[in-house]
Amino acid sequence: MRAEPKLREGPIATDRLTLYALRSTPKRPEGRVLLLGGSNFDLRLKRQFLTTNLAARFEILTYEPRGIGRTEQPEGAWDMADYAADAAALMDAVGWDQADIVGESFGGMTALHVCHLFPDRVARVAVISATAGGRGRGSEAARYREHRTVTRKSQSLSGPSGRADGLRCHVYRAFN
């Protein structure tokens, strides 16, 4: 039987806003993963990831995006650059210079923008069910493809078999 990861949960003040976050740390983490959930990612409801092989092997940091759950809802209009900057600010607040990033749906859009705006912060990225998002989606996606080269020669976060709880997950390494 594997040991349960240590959980720390609550508000984390960044230089941008206060984000409600959860940090899961197994006994011997193999790396760090910033997990970016979809547009309804409220940690009171979305906790299944804590029972996966990913959580058993990697330190995971995740949070409720601005305006969702217990995270602040700043005034004014927001764009994808704001969501990406929030992710980078959270990494700063917990002392992470770099991490693997896994983004699902809206979190995948955010992950692509983190790659574009903060490339040095990203070790590897996995994007699940997402587009580049934001205003002018087509042009932003084209700029992203021109700016980054993405290869399929990477490892899987789940190990050599590429299986994680019945799903095939490939992690793509983005290079300048």
CATH of the domain at 25: 3.40.50.1820
Quick: pLDDT tens for 42-101.
888 888 888 888 888 999 999 999 989 999 999 999 999 999 999 999 999 999 999 999
Q: Is 1 contained in some domain?
A: no
* Domain span including residue 107: 6-175
Q: Of 141, 137, 97, which is closest to residue 119 (Cα–Cα)?
A: 97
Q: What is the pTM of this model?
A: 0.76
Cite the DSSP H helix spans in 42-133.
53-57, 80-94, 106-117
Q: Is 103 contained in some domain?
A: yes
Q: Is 15 contained in some domain?
A: yes
Burial 23-37 (b: 16+ CB within 10 A, else e): bbbbeeeeebbbbbb
pLDDT at 135: 57
Rounded CA-CA distance 169/166 in Å is 9
Tally of domains in the chain: 1
Rounded CA-CA distance 58/49 in Å is 11
CA distances from 128 to 71, 95, 102, 106, 160 (A): 23, 26, 8, 9, 19
